[in-house]
Amino acid sequence: MVLREGKQPFYDVWVTGNHEYDYGLDAVKKIIRDLWCRVLTGNVYDADGNPIADGYAILSVNGIRVAVIGMVTPNIARWSAPNLAGCAVTDPLEAMSST
């Protein structure tokens, strides 16, 4: 799902999908910055080696703590290669192990 301005469904967290990267990392960072909820994508790193978003969030749902994990398929490095120049996309399991 590519999010568009003006449409604000209720989400506690949102995880980027492969098509968000079709528009380049700057566009993804803008979505993360402007979105009305927390964004998770723990296995994508910018050119400086910084993660573009957190890999997980702990939410309270009816008094119960729930962990939500957010990773994107590492295939985006292949599918959107021209738009991710200089970035790193790691294996989701490895990214979670280091969190």
Residue 18 in any domain: the answer is yes
pLDDT band at 59 (very low <50, low <70, confident <90, very high): very high
Q: pTM above 0.85?
A: no
Number of domains in the chain: 1
Q: For 12-33, how does the pLDDT look when each residue is reduced to its tens digit (9 = 90+)?
A: 899 999 999 998 899 999 989 9
Residue 6 in any domain: the answer is no
Reading the block at residue 57, the tokens are 């969030």
Share of the chain above pLDDT 70, in %: 90
Q: What is the pLDDT of residue 1?
A: 44
Residue 88 in any domain: the answer is yes
Residue 81 in any domain: the answer is yes
Mean pLDDT for the chain overall: 88
Decide: 40 and 96 in contact? Cβ < 8 Å.
no
By residue range, what is the domain housing residue 77? 13-97
Q: For 41-55, how does the pLDDT look when each residue is reduced to its tens digit (9 = 90+)?
A: 999 999 999 999 999
| Torsion on CA atoms 87, 97, 40, 45, rounded to nearest 10 | -10
Please give the Cα distance from 45 to 5 (Å, whole number).
Answer: 25
DSSP 42-68: TTEE-TTS-BSSBSEEEEEETTEEEEE
**Is 5's pLDDT higher than 70?**
no
